[in-house]
A and B are shown apart, each in its own frame.
Chain A
Amino acid sequence: AQTIHQWPVAEIKAVGSPLSLGCTIKGKSSPNLYWYWQATGGTLQQLFYSITVGQVESVVQLNLSASRPKDDQFILSTEKLLLSHSGFYLCAWSPEQYFGPGTRLTVL
């Protein structure tokens, strides 16, 4: 069975500080991987997707970047956090689009 793990579970960070969020999927080879952002009480916005190692496509620009260093790993990062980055970050794999448990980010 496939499992998807995200870390950390939650983060509280200061404006201007760097950020790195991780996602790992086990039990699925060469998955398509996706990052989503969800404001509190809001809809889900797809941020990035990757169909293979080393290849990442941006869907929206939010001063974030993503990388796929390994087949089973997807990283979301930024050098400088903004207040608007607060929210719930979700990783998913397709084609079924199963979501991970998410990371709650609060920027103060």
Chain B
Amino acid sequence: QQQVRQSPQSLTVWEGETAILNCSYENSAFDYFPWYQQFPGEGPALLISILSVSNKKEDGRFTIFFNKREKKLSLHIADSQPGDSATYFCAAILGANTGKLTFGHGTILRVHP
């Protein structure tokens, strides 16, 4: 059973648009949700994260919206740039300090200039 699901599998937007990447999860006990950005041939980089007690987290052009009741969250990338083209992984942790991550399958984002 896939514990963390991401959609769409791939997404193409034009430069300047807002890209919206979706994530949902099964286990209501998950309490910390990091998002990672991965470029080909590199390790994933922590982009932004949110605790389940919050419903929104902003960091520059990146915003997470979190709905605990529906077990859904989304990553919004405002003013998308070609350099944002990468694979984005949503992950969930049971216990913020345990490091036991469950990853989704990722969304491939392409930003056309």
Q: Which residues of A contact B (CB under 8 A)?
A: 32, 34, 42-46, 49, 59, 90, 92, 94-102, 104
Contacts and interface: CB of A to CB of B under 8 A. Distances in A.
Given A42-B105, A101-B43, A95 B100 contact: no
A99 B91 CA distance: 14
Q: Is the interface of B mostly helix, strand, loop or mixed?
A: loop
A90 B44 contact: yes
A99 B99 CA distance: 12
B97 interface: yes
15 contacts: A32-B99, A42-B105, A43-B105, A45-B103, A94-B98, A95-B96, A95-B98, A97-B91, A97-B99, A97-B101, A99-B36, A99-B43, A101-B43, A102-B41, A104-B41
Interface of B: 34, 36, 41-46, 89, 91, 96-106
B97 to A, nearest CB: 5
Sort A-B residue pairs by CB-CB distance and give the 7 closest, nearest first. A94-B99, A99-B43, A43-B105, A44-B103, A102-B43, A95-B97, A43-B103
Contacts of A95: 96-99
A49 B100 contact: yes
Contacts of A101: 42-43
A98 B91 CA distance: 13
B43 to A, nearest CB: 4
A32 B42 CA distance: 21
Contact of B46 (A34, A46, A98, A100): A98
Nearest to A10: B41
